[in-house]
Amino acid sequence: CVLINNFLCFMPSSQASLVPIKNNVEKLFNTPLKFLIIKVDKSRGNAICSRRSVLEKDKNIEIKEALKEIKEGQIITATTRALTTWGAFLEYKSITMLLHISDMSYSRVKQPSELLSVGDSIKVRVTKIDPETNRVSCSVKALSVDPYDNIEKKYEVGKNYSGTVQKHTPYGSFVQLEPGVLALCHQSEMDWTNRTIKPDKVLSISQKVNFKVVS
């Protein structure tokens, strides 16, 4: 219960804070706080109030002020706050930004945890700002040039190059030519006599190999 102007109002625990506080509501006891009346039932003589609504309003004002300091294309250093299967949430001042898994690297990334841990500080480029929803997207890839730009000039068909085996699949192995650039060595290109040989029988992970670019 919350006493507002000598009138007792009910506040659900879900309305106490921006994050769940479960059994820690006691820490708010006997402390002057701001609340917003969200429902009044005159027939029953009761009302429901919310502290969370006040905090959200203040948070939105803080975010809008912070958004004035950044712009699309700007490079900033943000802190990793949470990881999901499809990306990471970063924090810059009071702004929460989404770093999608597809924007983490030019190389294939299975899980964001392969590259990031909670608490890490990383440089990113702001790629999109939606002032209506306060949503901000960012990218690590956008900090560098796409390694596949002019790839045909770097690696010419018919010439030999060196690379490092990164992973195997049932149909072949992927070889890294440089960070962000993977080449497929199909199983049919591994042996003259056995066109369906298992890739891991020919190559080992992290092995340095020479090969010819065929396409």
pLDDT digit string (tens) for the chain, length 215 residues: 777 777 788 887 777 776 666 666 667 787 778 888 888 888 888 888 888 887 778 777 777 877 888 999 999 999 999 999 999 999 998 888 999 999 999 888 889 998 999 999 999 999 999 878 888 999 999 998 888 888 988 999 999 999 999 999 999 999 999 988 999 999 999 988 888 899 999 999 999 999 999 99
Q: What is the pLDDT of residue 103?
A: 94
Q: What is the pLDDT of residue 20?
A: 64
Q: What is the pLDDT of residue 118?
A: 94
**Separation between Cα atoms, residue 167 and residue 185, nearest integer Å:** 11
52: left (phi over 0), alpha (psi -120 to 50) or beta: alpha
Is the model's pTM score more than 0.75?
Answer: no
DSSP letters along 120-171, please? -EEEEEEEEEETTTTEEEEESGGGS--TTTTHHHHS-TT-EEEEEEEEEETT
Q: What is the pLDDT of residue 200?
A: 92
Q: What is the pLDDT of residues 1-49, one digit of tens each?
A: 777 777 788 887 777 776 666 666 667 787 778 888 888 888 888 888 8
